[in-house]
Amino acid sequence: MQMNLKIVLVEPLYQGNVGSVARAMKNFGFFDLVLVNPCRLEVEARAMSSHAWDLLENATVVSSLSDAIADSSIVIGTSGVSGSKFDEHLRVPAFSPREVKESLSGIDGNVAVLFGREDQGFNREELRLCDMIMTIPTSEVYPIMNLSHAVAVVLYEMSGMTTGELPLADAFDVRLLHTHFAEVLDDINYPEHKKEKTKLMLKRIFGRACLLEREVQTLRGIMRRIQKNLR
Amino acid sequence: MQMNLKIVLVEPLYQGNVGSVARAMKNFGFFDLVLVNPCRLEVEARAMSSHAWDLLENATVVSSLSDAIADSSIVIGTSGVSGSKFDEHLRVPAFSPREVKESLSGIDGNVAVLFGREDQGFNREELRLCDMIMTIPTSEVYPIMNLSHAVAVVLYEMSGMTTGELPLADAFDVRLLHTHFAEVLDDINYPEHKKEKTKLMLKRIFGRACLLEREVQTLRGIMRRIQKNLR
């Protein structure tokens, strides 16, 4: 069975790109498209989607990224910026599509791959919601890819990836784990100015680990035990 | 050093696609674009090329595919049709972009990757000029990719491929080898109705073998010796 993967476009600006994304998805056998506050989709979107207009018509439109990824165990943000100079915890480490594919092999669960605005990409809040950051290796001379090209390259890599045996943790349980960690940081009087960065780092670590259901339960068990002993 | 690879678009119909192809090329660090009888390239082509308009302006325009590939040691045709049912020798075997990359690893020479018309692809004569056929693995539901998406996927795979130590045979010498083989077929009274298919099969075999200079010389030596002994 093909991996349960959805494509989320965050505030796409150009309807032609949205149509082209739908076409690339159908080319590689992916059908679940979610649009967060998209531009108007009219004749050009449909023309560019070609024989994938059904996919475009069935796309889910939502008004916030949180809604788009509510049921996703793993949220992967695609960033064109390597960002080695800034936002270290936000964008680093960035994985290639092939590395992401390898991380996901053998598991079963809901995966969301996010693509940002054509001009600005993601804002910091959106990056915070990502478990993993993926960057397509491009030339330094001109690294900014067309949105639908980026989707095509990612799905080319992801296609043929089959569902494995190991169930990914539910999105809900992963959120509970992070809440739990945040509580422990409070309990141990972790320095306030480091909290946000540390929480983000934990999100990145657990994100790229693609936590399984039983692993999340075990980690939450440890957190509970720590809290109990602290009190 | 990046592999010496050029992209040849055969009679592209839509200028937006040509511009998008230029952009994808620059994204992955490829700069040599050849256009065979292209459509008119005006405002839309330039808009879609974005920051790769220099590449578009420097594209070589020719009137025949033969001119486009005159200096290419290996000619790779990209076909969206798996064609298992027809034109067996023309389209089979088809390699994935990754397999093509593996065949080319370690060699040094001029490689041309060809993309056909948006609606009709290549005609039979054009397919005959190809040493290898490459097909991007797509969904059977909707296998026809947008032209620039196909280029982006292929160049994503080919990028980072460095020149090796082993010099590919010159295009000129490879042509002599094929002429030589054709002569031998004549000399041995090879059945007329099988000749074309057999020549094409040889082209495919030597094409996917990515013959080196010294190998072509050795093969031509064998041909000469056969001819000498036949006469």
Tokens of A39: 């531009």
Q: Is the pLDDT of residue A82 over 80?
A: no
- Residue B85: the pLDDT is 46
Confidence of residue A84 (pLDDT cuts 50, 70, 90): very low
Query: A-chain residues within 8 Å CB-CB of B146?
Result: 20, 23-24, 48, 50, 148, 152
pLDDT-above-70 percentage for chain A: 94
Residue-wise pLDDT tens digits, B56-89: 999 999 999 999 999 999 999 998 765 444 455 5
CB-CB neighbours of A16 under 10 Å:
20
Query: A-chain residues within 8 Å CB-CB of B28?
Result: 138-139
- Residue A107: the pLDDT is 84
Residue-wise pLDDT tens digits, A178-220: 999 899 899 888 899 988 888 888 888 888 888 888 888 888 8
Averaged confidence pLDDT in chain A: 89
Confidence of residue A105 (pLDDT cuts 50, 70, 90): confident
Nearest to B142 among A52, A136, A152 (CB): A52
Nearest to A146 among B23, B29, B144 (CB): B23
| Domains of chain A listed by start with CATH number | 5-166 (3.40.1280.10), 171-230 (1.10.8)
* Residues A70, A76: Cα–Cα separation, whole Å: 13
CB pairs under 8 A between A and B: 89
Q: Is the pLDDT of residue A3 over 90?
A: no
- Residue B84: the pLDDT is 46
Query: B-chain residues within 8 Å CB-CB of A145?
Result: 23-24, 27, 152
CA distances in angstroms from A127 to A118, A120, A155, B61, B142, listed in the order given: 15, 12, 21, 44, 33
Which residues of chain B have a pLDDT value below 50?
Answer: 83-86
* Residues A28, B144: Cα–Cα separation, whole Å: 10
The residue length of chain B stands at: 231
Write the single-letter amino acid at A160: G
Which residues, at least 6 apart from A139, have a Cβ–Cβ distance to it below 8 Å? B26, B27, B28, B29, B159
Tokens of B131: 């040493």
Residue-wise pLDDT tens digits, A132-169: 999 999 998 899 999 999 999 999 999 977 777 788 88
DSSP assignment of A68-106 equals HTTT-SEEEEE-S---SSS-HHHH-SEE-HHHHHHHHTT
Nearest to B29 among A51, A141, A159 (CB): A141
Q: Kindly state the DSSP code that residue B69 receives in the 8-state scheme.
A: T
Tokens of A97: 């599509």
- Residue B206: the pLDDT is 83
